[in-house]
Amino acid sequence: MGQMDFHKDVMNNFPASHFTSPLKMTTPQYDLSNTLPPHTLTRLARDWLAEDTPNFDPAGLCVGSHEVEARLLCKTACSVLAGRPFFTAVFTELSCTVEWAHKEGAQLGPDAVAQTAVVRGPARCVLLGERPALNCLARASGIATRCSQLQSIAREAGWHGHVAGTRKTTPGFRLVEKYAMLVGGVSMHRQDLSGMVMLKDNHIWASGSITQAVRDARSVCGFSSKIEVECGSREEGSEAATAGADIVMLDNFKPQELHAAAQLLKEEFPSVLIEASGGVTPDNLPQYLSPHVDIISLGCITQGCPVVDFSLKVQKPVAFPIIFESQ
């Protein structure tokens, strides 16, 4: 039996209710910008602008400070818009205004070019903010688009667990990338090393055993943090759950092995969450979906993810005809 046939057999043998994990996901229409502290947006915008223009701006002399209007164009059809707060924060620092044509999370297109926003302000300031703001928007929208696609794959298969990101983010840019995951409708997973304890293979080898590592971690994280353990076999998963792990990650399992191990672990430890990770891509994601797997995390959400093509075009002034008075 091939992997795809095995996957279909597994999915078809369970009623829809079996595909609801303890982490059943919803997609509420919240204003996600409210999760971003204003002072953090200001700090990031200032850092990005300082990095791009640390000293003089010779090109600013060419355009001066007269008021201009620039149109933000999306040139990648069927993209999910993400990153509006960061884009706006950059131009706010430069005394410019941004008027948006679409909400955060909106799908742009299907037209090849979609007008997305209008930026107004002093010419040199609009051009100072152009590249940092576009970089944020392009990267965030690319991640949100991929997340939306992954979420659609999971839902169309009838699976209601968590599609999740990882800590494989760009140094210094994690907040933008994690926020984009939210906009795209997937779980951010843990924010950082302080957010949740994840004991990986190196932790296990350095501490001596899974049981010892879990015991030591629990002694400092207490009741307020979950402990997840990366496991390379069902036996390791059982040891981790017995030691008190909240989440067992089955790492680099082939789909058939994953389904079998996850089922046995769920039967033995019904309250333990099962995560699958390693080698999962948009193409093979359906093969990993299982009623016994609660979370599937993918590094490709942030690594190798295509960006969305945006451009900012300053509008040329309207040329008025010259009328000469008769002599």
Catalytic (active-site) positions: 168
d(CA 270, CA 281): 27
For residue 326, give the DSSP letter: P
CA distances from 184 to 32, 187, 262 (A): 11, 9, 27
Tokens of 103: 């909400």
Could you identify the residue written with the tokens 């599937």? 296
d(CA 81, CA 71): 15
Q: Which among 182, 173, 162, 142 is positioned nearest to 300, based on CA atoms?
A: 142
Main-chain dihedrals φ then ψ at residue 5, nearest 5 degrees: -65, -40
Tokens of 115: 């007008």
Among positive and negative, which fits the CA dihedral 49, 51, 52, 57? positive
For residues 310 and 75, is the Cβ–Cβ distance under 8 A? yes
CB neighbours of 63 closer than 8 A, spacing ≥ 6? 123, 124, 127
In sequence order, the β-bridge partners of residue 100 are: 117
Q: Which among 141, 138, 132, 120 is positioned nearest to 71, based on CA atoms?
A: 120
